[in-house]
Amino acid sequence: MRVIATAGHVDHGKSTLVRRLTGMEPDRWAEERRRGLTLDLGFGWTRIGAEDVAFVDVPGHERFVPTMLAGAGPVPAVVFVVAADEGWKPQSAEHLAALHAFGVERGLLVVTKLDRADPGPATTEALRELAATSLGTVPTVACSGTSGEGLTGVRAAVGELVAGLPVPPAGADVRLWLDRAFTIRGAGTVVTGTLAAGTITTGDELDLGGTTVSVRGIESLGTERTTVRGVARVALNLRGVDRDRARRGHALLTPGAWLTTSEVDVRLRGAASADLHRELVLHLGTAAVPVRVRPLGTDTVRLALRTPLPLRVGDRGLLRDPGAHLIAAGADVLDVRPPELRRRGAARARGAELSGDLALAYLRRHGFVRAADFRAMGLPPAGNRVGDWLVDPGRFARLRSTVRDEVAAWSRAHPVAAGMPEDALRHRLGLPSADLLAPLLTGLETSSGLVRLPGTGLDPRVASALALLDEDFAAHPFRAPETDHLRDLGLGRRELAAAVRHGRLTPIADGVYLAPGTETRAADALAGLEQPFTVSAARRALDSTRRVMVPLLEHLDAVGVTEPLGDGTRRLR
């Protein structure tokens, strides 16, 4: 499906053209039909060639410019209508200014009412006006909505227009700007909008203003569907939201894929920052939000939004002065998570920064950013990829040069420790995720969640005490030193834990330590016993004590060396 908008001065025949092309009545309200004046957004669709084409018919009267902007904002192309008997008019200019501010680049000029006047002069004037905007040179066709003359040419021209439009990716994140919301008895809340990209399927869960809603049903072009992909006009029956919490200007979003922000930095098109009023309205999608404007550079400003919006870098909107009924400027979103401007001269510096590589500038400012956050902001990947993170190469290089010093300082402060805990090192380095630590540990030793310098051993005092225990174990490998003896050697809990981490002791039970390799030596000694054997027989074979023997056999059971038989005896596995 392709979706295009109409534009043009009031009473130039936009709705009549849509009516003749689609056979549908775009003016939904009785008041519109009574007055012959479009007051709200209208819709109609038809098939042209191999494409379904949906029209968003916008009002042309100056009183309804905000409604026109809501209709034109989300669509990629426009049919611009000018009447042959009236030519270029004030709302023609305002609609064109809006399309230019939105950056619409694809269009078709339709000169209507050729049965009332020669379309040549109106065509020439309109083409001159359009050529000076983002639309540039566009094809043109003339017709009469009353007699039907020229409508075949209009259909063919519309077909050529939509055939040249790009096809958005089906896997894109969904952002459906709502243009209508209403209630249907027995169904509940229904919303409509133009799906610009992505795919929506029945049962999908989407985010609406921080609330998770599910898609109960989908209708597109009057037909119920189970799935729809952009670009498309859609009506969604939602579960999980009341009608009063959904309205024009809200957006249905892929959960977690968009950053909703109340401050953005934008580049202006068609105006200088010094020329703008401080209070304007930002129109983007179907939203219209009052903003405060703060100049940054000659063509860049910061917008403080009264209502947060889900925006991405590259979004195009426009700024409008509602008091003067003027389009003030186009606004291209540059940064949806801009830095604070607290220091003197910060605004000027920020303006200069906005002329450079914004993705790299953002990464340098934060150091480490999740790749998903860059996607949510609309920024291209920058820096180096480490797992799910993007990292600033300069920041990473500086950390890599200091990590050894951090580990060495820790070792000096904790001489009996077997190494610096990885979590402690991560916090000292200011890393937001443990995944970022591993690439910085080149040339360091790691084990059991500890980091140490190569060749780092135990504190000399601890090593000396363990050497004395080694002599005792050599004579009696299964006699654990008593607590008093360990204390006399200066081996407290921290020192013993360090010895265990270094592989110098094997913990059997609380306060019971034997030499490393105890399991293998015990298995060799127990192999000489008649199987099964008792605790007493094992104690005699290992020349041990009951204090050690019971926990040792339980330890051997746990590691699979021995097997308890349930009657107080065991056997080797």
Q: Is 358 in contact with 293 (CB distance < 8 Å)?
A: no
- pLDDT tens for each residue of the chain, 573 residues long: 888 888 888 778 888 898 899 888 755 433 333 333 333 467 788 999 888 888 887 754 344 344 545 545 557 889 999 999 999 998 888 888 888 888 889 999 999 999 999 999 999 999 999 999 999 999 999 999 888 899 999 999 999 999 988 888 899 999 999 988 888 877 788 998 889 899 999 999 999 999 999 999 999 888 899 999 988 889 999 998 887 888 888 999 999 999 999 999 999 988 899 988 889 999 898 888 999 999 999 999 999 999 999 999 999 888 988 776 677 788 999 999 999 998 888 999 999 888 888 899 899 989 999 999 999 999 999 999 999 999 999 999 999 999 999 998 988 888 767 778 999 999 999 999 999 999 999 888 887 788 888 766 677 788 788 889 989 999 999 999 998 998 888 888 878 888 887 788 999 988 899 999 999 999 999 998 999 999 999 999 999 998 999 999 999 999 999 999 989 899 998
Task: Quote the pLDDT of residue 32.
Answer: 32
Q: How far apart are CA 311 and CA 258, in angstroms?
A: 7
- Number of other residues whose CB lies within 10 A of the CB of residue 467: 10
Instruction: Collect all residues with Cβ–Cβ distance below 8 Å to 451 and sequence separation of at least 6.
Output: 407, 419, 420, 421, 422, 425, 441, 444, 445
Cis omega (within 30 of 0) for bond into 559: no
- DSSP of 250-267: -EEE-TTS-EEEEEEEEE
Measure the CA–CA gap between 182 and 189, rounded to whole angstroms.
Answer: 6
The predicted pLDDT at position 30 comes to 36
Which distant-in-sequence residues (6+ apart) come within 8 Å of 396 by Cβ?
384, 439, 440
- Token pair of 365, please? 């400012």
256 φ, ψ to 5°? 75, 0
Q: Is 545 exposed, middle or buried (0-12, 13-18, 19+ CB in 10 A)?
A: middle
Burial 426-437 (b: 16+ CB within 10 A, else e): bebbebeeeebb
Give me 297's structure tokens.
């550079």
Q: In what order do the strands lie in the sheet with 368-370?
A: 368-370, 389-391, 384-386
DSSP secondary structure letter of residue 167: P
Element (H, E) at 398: helix 393-413
Helix (H) or strand (E) holding 523, with range, is helix 518-526
Domains of the chain (ranges; CATH) run 2-163 (3.40.50.300), 175-253 (2.40.30.10), 259-356 (2.40.30.10), 367-457 (no CATH), 460-572 (1.10.10.10)
